[in-house]
């Protein structure tokens, strides 16, 4: 169930990796943004959003990622997108998300 | 995939999803939050908010915000001049930087500048402002293109429709509530009027003070025991309250006669059911059969009643209830020429007359209700209040009631009449 779903996170040094999954594309994806904010508040300087399990990113997903970018830039943290497929990279470039994040 | 094509697919996907959300979502807050995500995500807009307009307070109240921070005002006041301009503008996005001539933008200039808000889109539906959408800079740092503005226009129109629908629903709910309150008030007024009438009827007869009110209450007890719904129970009570309204036209000397009345006087008194019916018929009662209860409450199942000597199946059911309630009250209250009868006698009378004067299933229901109260199966104290504690605690009454119920169990009046 959405309310019980725990966002997978791995931490190492100053980096926290948050796994986006398909949750990103629904309102419940706000949990991912909250998790990223929590890691930023906890002092992690780099937030890696992993798209390994994310096939597509829709408008809700983009909005949530913009929220992550905004939170990180306000706290002086960096955002990295990893395991992003080609179509999604194109989308992020077209919408300007890649101006604010590094894509691995 | 060419960039333009991908852009089209992405934005139209968002537009389609927004249309679906507006038509499907029941949770208004979720709808607005989702709508804002879709709009910002469709064009890669860093921040924004959706506000609903309150005509009464001339306020824009923020329903959802993204990236505006805690210091951004949650309620923005607009004046008539702003309102006129927003209406004239329609759903076309207004460049905040170029609209500073309006008081609204002068007041909130700092807040808008701090959050780099670039566009304000009035949500105008059917020539009424329902809200606004505020939009910040794009993530790619580019200015809004005419394509972007067209998409914003289309998407904000959907959001406006969502808010307008919500407003309409709220207005309908408010009116329904108001109607419900008015209806309740009317019912209360009707009930009070009926009770006042019952008191007026009872005032005429100094020996049977409170009779109509008691008959109303006994009728209510019977109807409730039969499992009728609240409205029907209330209808039965009203029928009881008003059953003797015809007595208002009978001479007081007859009603208040301290001795048994003669044949002529009896004939005059016996007209009261028909007169009552005529009084009640032109009144539009919220409950059916109130006039019929007045007309036929002296009919008997065996056809020996009056005014029409009807037999069982021809007597309206409500009249049978009032008949039982009326007779029970007559037996259990003092009359000028007769003391009230002891409980055991009354129960025996009810049992004896079940199928003759009274509908057996009504006698059963009545006795069952009384037994439940005496044995404290229910917390109700209706009989106790009407008859007095001592009367109900007469020796042997419980076994008498149980016996009566065993004898009459499952017998309907129609069965008895058919057997006869």
pLDDT score of B288: 72
Among residues B115, B141, B171, the one where a domain terminates is: B171
Q: Provide CB contacts within 8 A for B390, sequence distance 6+.
A: none
Instruction: Please name the residue that has the structure tokens 């890691």.
Output: A39
Residue numbers in B near A66 (CB within 8 A): 40-41, 44-47, 66-67, 139
pLDDT tens per residue across span A1-35: 445 678 899 999 999 999 998 888 889 889 999 99
Percent share of chain B, pLDDT over 90:
67
Residues in chain A: 104
Residues B80 and B219 in one domain: no
The domain boundary residue, chosen from B129, B147, B171:
B171
Looking at the structure, do residues B129 and B199 belong to the same domain, yes or no?
no
CATH number at residue B414: 1.10.3210.10
d(CA A66, CA A100) in angstroms, rounded, equals: 9
The CATH architecture annotation of domain A2-103 reads 2-Layer Sandwich (3.30)
Total number of domains in chain B: 2
Q: Verify that B154 and B213 share a domain, yes or no.
A: no
Strand partners of residue B358: B354
Are B100 and B196 in the same domain?
no
CB atoms within 10 A of CB B16: 11
Q: How many CB atoms lie within 10 A of CB B36?
A: 26
What pLDDT shows up at residue B410?
53
Q: How far is B67 from chain A (nearest CA, A)?
A: 7
Nearest neighbour of B37 by CB, restricted to A59, A70, A91: A59
Residue B178 domain flag? no
Predicted pLDDT of residue B2: 60
Q: Which two tokens stand for residue B315?
A: 């007597």
pLDDT tens profile B197-223: 888 888 877 667 789 999 999 999 999
Q: Does B37 touch chain A (CB under 8 A)?
A: yes
Percent of chain A whose pLDDT exceeds 70 = 96
Q: Are residues B245 and B276 in contact, defined by beta-carbon separation less than 8 angstroms?
A: yes
Structure-token pair, residue B390: 């001592």
pLDDT digits (tens, 9 = 90+) for B251-306: 888 888 877 889 999 999 999 999 999 999 988 887 878 999 999 999 999 999 99
A48 and A16 in contact (C-beta within 8 Å)? yes
Q: Which residue has the tokens 């105008």?
A: B124
Residues B136 and B203 in one domain: no
Render B332-388 in DSSP notation, one character per residue. HS-BTTBPPPPHHHHHHHHHHHBTTTB-HHHHHHHHHHHHHHHTTSS---HHHHHH-
Strand partners of residue B122: B132
Instruction: Using alpha carbons, select from B333, B295, B325, B320 the residue that is nearest to residue B413.
Output: B320
In the structure, what pLDDT confidence band is assigned to residue B241 with cuts at 50, 70 and 90? very high
Partners of B140 on chain A (C-beta within 8 Å) are 94-96, 99
Residue B411's pLDDT is: 52
Q: What does the pLDDT average to over B386-414? A: 81
Confidence of residue B420 (pLDDT cuts 50, 70, 90): very low
Q: Per-residue pLDDT tens for A22-71?
A: 888 889 889 999 999 999 999 999 999 999 989 989 999 999 999 999 99
Residues B5-17, mean pLDDT to the nearest whole number: 88
What is the value of ipTM here, to two decimals? 0.93
Q: Is the pLDDT of residue B417 over 50?
A: no
Share of chain B above pLDDT 70, in %: 96
Quick one: B113 and B161 in the same domain? yes
What pLDDT, on a 0 to 100 scale, did the predictor assign at position B350? 95
Q: Using CA atoms, how far apart are residues B164 and A41, in angstroms rounded to an integer?
A: 39
DSSP annotation string for B201-233: HHHH-GGGTTHHHHHHHHHHHHHHHTT--HHHH
Asked if B64 and B162 count as a contact pair (C-beta separation under 8 A), the reply is: no
Q: Are B74 and B207 within one domain?
A: no
Contacts of residue B192, Cβ cutoff 8 Å, sequence gap at least 6 = none
Backbone phi, psi, residue B357, to 5°: -100, -40
**Chain A partners within 8 Å of B3 (Cβ):** 90, 94
CB-CB contact of B295 with B274 (8 Å): yes
pLDDT, residue A80, reads: 97
pLDDT of residue B22 exceeding 90: no
Asked whether the beta carbons of residue B139 and residue A64 sit closer than 8 angstroms, the reply is no
Judge whether B271 lies within some domain: yes
The order of strands in the sheet holding A78-82 is A9-12, A15-19, A46-50, A78-82, A102-103
Q: Give the domain ranges of chain A.
A: 2-103
pLDDT band with cut points at 50, 70 and 90 for residue A91:
very high
For A62, which of B30, B34, B41 is closest by C-beta distance? B41
Predicted confidence at residue B413, as pLDDT, reads 46
| CA-based nearest distance B140→chain A, Å | 4
CA B289 to chain centre: 22
Mean pLDDT lowest among A78-92, B21-35, B136-150: B21-35
Quote the strand ranges of B3-58, DSSP E: 48-54
Q: Does A58 touch chain B (CB under 8 A)?
A: yes
Q: By CB neighbour count within 10 A (0-12 exposed, 13-18 middle, 19+ buried), where does B249 fall?
A: middle
Burial (CB count <10 Å: 0-12, 13-18, 19+), residue B80 = exposed
Cβ-Cβ contacts under 8 Å, A95 against chain B = 10, 43-44, 139-140
Q: How far is CA B93 from the centre of its chain?
A: 45
Residues A27, B36: C-beta atoms closer than 8 Å: no
Tally the C-alpha atoms within 13 A of residue B139's C-alpha that lie toward its C-beta: 30
Contact A59 B13 (CB under 8 A): yes
Here the CATH number for the domain that contains residue B11 is 3.30.450.40
The strand pair at B59-66 and B48-54 is best described as antiparallel
B225 and B358 in a single domain? The answer is: yes
Inform me whether the pLDDT recorded for B125 exceeds 60: yes
Tell me which of B336 and B286 has the higher pLDDT.
Answer: B286
The whole domain housing B383 covers: 187-419
**pLDDT of B416 strictly over 50:** no
Contacts of A70 in chain B (CB under 8 A): 46-47, 67
Strands (E), chain A: 9-12, 15-19, 46-50, 78-82, 102-103
pLDDT at residue B369 in the model? 96
Choose from B14, B44, B48, B64 for mutation: most chain A CBs within 10 A: B44
Per-residue DSSP letter, B63: E
């Amino acid at each position: 169930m959405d309310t019980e779903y725990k966002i997978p996170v791995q931490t190492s040094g100053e980096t926290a990796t948050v796994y986006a999954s398909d949750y990103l594309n629904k309102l419940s994806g706000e949990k991912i943004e909250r998790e990223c904010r929590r890691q930023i508040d906890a002092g992690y300087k780099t937030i890696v959003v992993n798209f390994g399990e994310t096939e597509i990113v829709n408008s809700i997903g983009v909005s949530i990622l913009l929220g992550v970018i905004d939170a990180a830039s306000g706290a002086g943290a960096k955002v990295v997108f990893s395991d992003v497929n080609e179509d999604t990279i194109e989308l992020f470039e077209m919408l300007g998300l890649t101006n604010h994040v590094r894509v691995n | 995939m060419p960039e333009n094509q991908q852009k089209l697919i992405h934005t139209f996907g968002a537009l389609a999803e927004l249309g679906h959300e507006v038509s499907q979502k029941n949770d208004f807050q979720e709808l607005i939050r989702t709508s804002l995500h879709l709009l910002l995500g469709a064009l890669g807009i860093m921040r924004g908010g959706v506000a609903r307009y309150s005509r009464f307070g001339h306020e824009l109240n923020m329903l959802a915000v993204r990236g505006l921070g805690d210091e951004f005002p949650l309620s923005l006041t607009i004046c008539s001049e702003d309102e006129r301009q927003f209406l004239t503008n329609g759903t076309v996005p207004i460049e905040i930087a170029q609209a500073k001539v309006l008081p609204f933008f002068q007041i909130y200039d700092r807040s808008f500048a701090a959050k780099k808000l670039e566009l304000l889109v009035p949500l105008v539906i059917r020539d009424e402002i329902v809200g606004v959408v505020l939009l910040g800079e794009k993530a790619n740092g580019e200015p809004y293109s005419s394509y972007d503005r067209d998409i914003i226009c289309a998407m904000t129109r959907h959001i406006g429709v969502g808010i307008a629908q919500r407003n309409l629903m709220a207005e309908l709910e408010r009116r329904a509530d108001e109607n419900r309150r008015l209806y309740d008030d009317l019912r209360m007024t009707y009930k009070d009027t009926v009770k006042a009438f019952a008191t007026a009827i009872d005032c005429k007869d100094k020996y049977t003070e409170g009779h109509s009110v008691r008959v109303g209450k006994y009728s209510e007890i019977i109807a409730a025991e039969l499992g009728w719904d609240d409205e029907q129970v209330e209808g039965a009570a009203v029928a009881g309250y008003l059953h003797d309204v015809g007595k208002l036209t009978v001479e007081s000397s007859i009603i208040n006669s301290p001795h048994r009345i003669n044949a002529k006087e009896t004939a005059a008194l016996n007209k009261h059911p028909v007169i009552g019916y005529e009084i009640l018929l032109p009144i539009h009662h919220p409950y059916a059969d109130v006039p019929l209860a007045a007309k036929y409450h002296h009919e008997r199942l065996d056809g020996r009643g009056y005014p029409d000597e009807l037999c069982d199946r021809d007597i309206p059911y409500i009249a049978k209830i009032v008949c039982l309630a009326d007779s029970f009250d007559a037996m259990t209250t003092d009359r000028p020429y007769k003391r009230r009868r002891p409980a055991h006698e009354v129960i025996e009378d009810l049992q004896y007359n079940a199928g003759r004067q009274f509908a057996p299933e009504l006698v059963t229901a009545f006795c069952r209700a009384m037994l439940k109260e005496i044995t404290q199966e229910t917390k109700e104290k209706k009989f106790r209040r009407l008859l007095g504690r001592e009367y109900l605690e007469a020796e042997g009454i419980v076994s008498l009631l149980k016996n009566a119920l065993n004898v009459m169990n499952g017998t309907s009046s129609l069965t008895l009449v058919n057997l006869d």
